[in-house]
Copies of this chain bind each other. A is one copy, B any other.
Amino acid sequence: MNLILLFAEDFVAPGRVLLQGRRLRHVLEVHRAAVGDVLVVGLEGGMIGNGRVLLLDGAGLEMAVELGTNPPPPLPVTLVLALPRPKMLKRILITATSMGVKTIYLINSFRVEKSFWKSPLLSTEKLAEPLVLGLEQARDTVLPRVHLRPLFRPFVEDELPAICAGTTALLAHPAGNAPCPRVSPGAVTLAIGPEGGFIPYEAERLQGCGFTAVTLGERILRVEAAVPVLLSRLAPL
């Protein structure tokens, strides 16, 4: 937690917050802060700044908050990701959020196990947890929006053309014949398949939407490694 993310409901008075639960425990156990210490904070969707500890005990953390710095710029990449296995999904969401992705579509694919769509992790409340962790890691404040699209074809036909309009649309595909760019081509829509890859029909539909199949070379990476590698390559300097 390199930044404590604050929400509007944490404010007990203007410029003053009271925290309990996970953030309180983290400040007690990891930061080991004391009254007078200054911690990095940020307001969800807003600016970052400092929180000076006014009171800290097992019951709560009270801070005087001053905000004045913009969060880091977002990564201009929209991620279209075949829904990963739930335990992987959480880590991938933390990583993508910490790298600055702001729009994520979790989509279906032939190789996505149907049970993944029933994971309790996909509830709005549970999905927010890794996103908050990612923001806290990267000192960002702007939550990504995660969209669930459990039907491949309607998504690709009805929504995807508008999503990738005006962007460089790239499909990460081990069988792709162009290398993935190493410099940012500007705004990108990046599609990443499941373990085992999109099936040919799916890859063709994506290519029909204007996606170019790109590869990272002969080494096939797990999705949880491919995501940071691809995002890093497509990030502006």
Q: Which residues of A contact B (CB under 8 A)?
A: 2, 72, 91, 94-95, 98-100, 137-140, 179, 182-183, 216-222, 224-225, 228-229, 231-233, 235, 237
Minimum CB distance partner of A91 in chain B: B224
B182 engages A218 (CB within 8 Å): no
Interface centre among A91, A137, A228 (most CB of B within 10 A): A228
Contact A138 B220 (CB under 8 A): yes
Which residues of chain B are within 8 angstroms of A222 by Cβ–Cβ distance?
94-95, 98, 137
Closest B residue, CB atoms, query A73? B218
Which 4 pairs between the two chains have the least Cβ-Cβ distance?
Answer: A138-B219, A229-B232, A95-B225, A225-B228
Choose one: B216, B218, B228; the contact of A139 (CB below 8 Å). Answer: B218
Tally of this chain's copies = 2
In the bound complex, how far is the Cα of B222 from the Cα of A138, in angstroms?
9
CA distance A209 to B98 in the complex (A): 31
- Please report the C-alpha to C-alpha distance between residue A220 and residue B179 in the assembled complex, in whole angstroms: 27
Which secondary structure characterizes the binding site on chain A? loop
Q: With contacts A94-B222, A217-B235, A232-B233 known, what are 16 further pairs, Cβ within 8 A?
A: A95-B224, A98-B220, A98-B221, A98-B225, A99-B229, A100-B219, A137-B220, A139-B218, A182-B182, A182-B183, A216-B232, A221-B228, A225-B228, A228-B229, A229-B231, A232-B232
Q: Are B94 and A217 in contact (CB under 8 A)?
A: no
A214 → chain B closest CB, angstroms: 13
A-B contact pairs, 20 of them (CB 8 A): A2-B220, A94-B225, A95-B222, A95-B224, A98-B225, A99-B229, A137-B220, A137-B222, A138-B220, A139-B219, A139-B220, A182-B182, A221-B228, A225-B228, A228-B228, A228-B229, A228-B232, A229-B229, A232-B232, A232-B233
